[in-house]
Every structure is written in C-alpha cells, then in structure tokens.
Amino acid sequence: MKYKRLTKEQQDELHQEFATFLASQSIDKKEWDEIKSNKPEIAEQELDVFSDLIWEGVLTNAKFLEHFSKNHIFLFHFQKEFIQSMVIKSLVGEVDFLAKDGLQWLSDNLFTETVEIHVGKKEYDKQRNEAIFDLITQGAILSDGQLYIQINTIIQS
C-alpha cells in the first residue's frame, strides 16, 4: 500500500465509486460479499488498492494545503516541480489562530511587528504526491488556496 487505507467513513462516502471500482474488475455485489466472507485477505487487498487509487487522484489534483496551529499558519502551494510555502507566525502569545478571533487579529495585524511572514520555495525531495501526503499525515488539510492567494497578492504588491 502506497498511502493509507481510507477510513470507514470515507469508504461509506465513496460507496458508489467503490462499486464502480469492483465492477471494473467484474466483481458484482454477490461476489464481493463472498470474497469478504471467504477470502478476507483479498477483500483487504481490494480496499487497499481502491484507497491508493482515491489518494492518488486527490493528491494529483491538490494545489493548496493549510496547517493551522495556535501561533502559526503554514500555507503550501504545489507546483509541478516545487512547493511554495508561506509561514505566518504570531509574536503575541495569547493569539490563537485556531479560533475565529485569531484570524480576525491576523487580518488587523498582518503588517505589524507582531506578525512574521516567511516565504519559501523548495524542490520536491520525493515524488510530488508523496510530499503532499506526508504534509497531510502531519495535520495539513486540503484547501482552495484562498488564504494563500490573498496573502501572496498582498505581499507581492
């Protein structure tokens, strides 16, 4: 397995896609039920292959990730050959970016001495999708990139 197995909740959400996946292998519901009952190791393998296919699609389409902690926001923009990153750090200890008022504070104080912004660029040290997956396993979440784009636009002007 290249990534990790989807959770039960994720599998439930992708029920139709899984049925299509099984159908592409000429496995109908009756045969799937039989495999689960009589050959659980094969059922496990099928779930692993399906999970990897889903992850591969998600990671290939990923453009942005965000990771929030109390005093830091990590923003990532994935290009074909490299990752662009932005790290926003509050120098005020009581600010909490995990709370709604923390983001409002950031908006009000973005260009003051209480906020540090570091911008970076790094070539992938492994395959692009594996690098993205590693960040997700560390707590980053997929994003539409709105925050990254907004801050990058402000910084560039």
Q: List pLDDT tens digits, range 36-53.
A: 999 999 999 999 999 999
CB 5 within 8 A of CB 47: yes
Confidence of residue 156 (pLDDT cuts 50, 70, 90): confident
What pLDDT, on a 0 to 100 scale, did the predictor assign at position 154? 85
The rounded distance, in Å, linking the Cα atoms of 105 and 90 is 10
Nearest to 2 by CA among 124, 134, 125: 134
CB 96 within 8 A of CB 69: no
What pLDDT, on a 0 to 100 scale, did the predictor assign at position 111? 84
Confidence of residue 155 (pLDDT cuts 50, 70, 90): confident
pLDDT at 126 over 80: yes
Confidence of residue 148 (pLDDT cuts 50, 70, 90): very high
Query: Which residue do the tokens 């504070």 mark?
Result: 105
Question: Residue length, the chain?
Answer: 157
Coil, strand, or helix at residue 17?
Answer: helix
The rounded distance, in Å, linking the Cα atoms of 29 and 25 is 12
Query: Which residue do the tokens 């910084």 mark?
Result: 155
Q: List pLDDT tens digits, range 64-120.
A: 999 999 999 999 999 999 999 999 999 998 999 999 899 899 989 988 999 999 999
What pLDDT, on a 0 to 100 scale, did the predictor assign at position 157? 76
Domain locations along the chain = 8-61, 64-156
- Alpha helices by DSSP H, listed for the chain, are 8-13, 15-24, 29-38, 40-61, 100-109, 128-137, 146-156
Query: Which pTM value belongs to this model?
Result: 0.86
Residue 7 is given by DSSP the state: P
Q: Residues near 72 by Cβ (< 8 Å), separated by ≥ 6?
A: 87, 88, 89, 90, 97
